[in-house]
A and B are shown apart, each in its own frame.
Chain A
Amino acid sequence: MPAEGLLALRNVWKRFHSGGTETVALHDVDFVIEPGQFVTLIGPSGCGKSTLFNIIAGLEEPDGDGSVLFQGQPQRHRDLLGKVSFMPQKDLLFPWRTVLDNAALALEIEGMPRKAARQKAAALFPEFGLQGFEKHYPRQLSGGMRQRVALMRTFLFERELLLLDEPFGALDALTRSMMQRWLLEIWARHRRTVLFITHDIDEAIFLGDRVIVMSARPGTVRCDERVDLPRPRSGEVMLTPQFLDVKRRLLAIVEEESRKTFSASA
């Protein structure tokens, strides 16, 4: 297993066919995520991030060329369903469930009795800053709080790999940076493996041990950069020369790729 990390993508391709034309969404995507790592992934819009996300979540199957390995085992279609805990962009809270029952949703589906599921979820409420809101309904919460409930739901579905797709994308800048620091605290305590998809370079560097940059469509890994900033990280870290150095390099690459997308669509 160590040779292949927790999750390994080997020569992953995805092509879509419609009306005789072929669109290549992903070509030769290749990377490995080690257990306990916090990996962030950025790329220009339309680079196939969401296709990649769906493949890792087990919702879509890659083309036959390559393979996806999880804990060293090759994964067929749908094998990954239930092995990865993922959180999509939208919070997708169910309006008819209380905050507590929303958080406990995955546990219930796993077959845990409702009472036990609620107890287990309730224990996490203080840590997620949601104590006292257990009986509220989603419509009564602010955007940041809803996002924390969604994250708690993902956390409670205890799997080795957490797959987060721009979870803070819809939040305002202040709430967003609070949530980033808070996420790092939670991660430091629970030490799960995280793949975090974003389009914000600062966020990618601030959170990650590694930043993977995707190319313009057809998407592939354009560069894979280690971030050796010391942890625990505070907001100050974003002003250090080391951070800015990484940012400068990544920005150049992302801009170059974005320009390709832009001119291709123009």
Chain B
Amino acid sequence: MNLLPVTVALAGLLALWELAIALFRVPGFVLPRPLDIATAVMENPGLYASGMLLTALEAIGGFAAGAALGFGLAVLMVLFRPLERALVPIAIAISSVPSIAFIPLALVWFGLGPVSKVAMAALAVVFVVLLNTLNGLKRPDREAINLLRSFGAGRLGILWRLQLPAAMPAVVTGLRVGLARSTIAVIVAEMLGAYAGIGQIIYQATVQVDALHVWAGVAVATAGSLLLNAVLVAVDRRLVWWS
């Protein structure tokens, strides 16, 4: 991929940002300068780093648990079709609720500590992975399944050799979408009630109408999510190694 246009675009956006502030005399509490935001982060690196680390750990923990649960359920559903018919409507119904609406419930149930954040991250990912995996597992057509049957493969053999690898691209899509949702769920949950975390930092700054530090928190959250996503992309390559 040619990185030049992207770099130019990013630099252009930053320049536009600076220019707008200079030209229109935008006050700092409306839009701080990029350099000021960076300085704000660097003035208190420990706060932002530890906040982001906690948020990332909560997001990863819940993401891993939710993804494993969703994947496992999908496999079970393919093996026992009645389970699918019974549970998929429930899964679709729950996933039609914006997951952030569950945050108050999670906070009442699990308190303001990390457990509620992990639970929210898991909830945000479980149904995406479940439904994507299920679709992926059902992707192989009749003929490919028949071919394996003709070789004498059983139900599990077909699952292992055909359906699981064929499902991987869809699983990966589910993981990507899920990770973003997990991070969002954790950050918003931290905004509503938490002792620490980048969401809590952003919320504190919002309450104090401290625009500079809101921007600083958002910038750190953005950088942290990009990093998390980069890790996931590396994992994805191993799951879909053939493309």
Residue positions of A touching B, CB distance < 8 A: 54, 57-59, 81-82, 84-86, 88, 90, 92, 94-97, 105-106, 108-110, 137, 139, 157
Contacts and interface: CB of A to CB of B under 8 A. Distances in A.
B243 A95 contact: yes
Interface of A: prevailing SS: loop
Contact of A105 (B143, B161, B168, B243): B161
B151 interface: yes
Contacts of B152: 81-82, 109-110
A82 B147 contact: no
A97 B157 CA distance: 15
A58 B150 CA distance: 7
Interface of B: 143-144, 146-153, 157, 161-162, 165-166, 168, 240-243
A180 to B, nearest CB: 22
Contact of A88 (B146, B242, B243): B146
Nearest to B240: A96
Nearest to B149: A81
Q: Which 9 A-B pairs have the closest CB atoms?
A: A82-B152, A96-B242, A106-B151, A96-B165, A109-B151, A109-B153, A92-B144, A59-B146, A86-B150
Contacts, number: 56
Contacts of A94: 161-162, 165-166
Given A108-B161, A109-B153, 5 more contacts: A58-B149, A85-B150, A86-B150, A96-B166, A110-B151
A106 B165 CA distance: 17
Contacts of A86: 147, 150
B157 to A, nearest CB: 6
A92 B151 contact: no
Given A82-B150, A90-B143, A92-B143, A109 B161 contact: yes
A95 B146 contact: no
Nearest to A165: B143
B147 A88 contact: yes
A164 to B, nearest CB: 12
Contacts of B144: 92
Given A88-B143, A88-B146, A95 B242 contact: yes
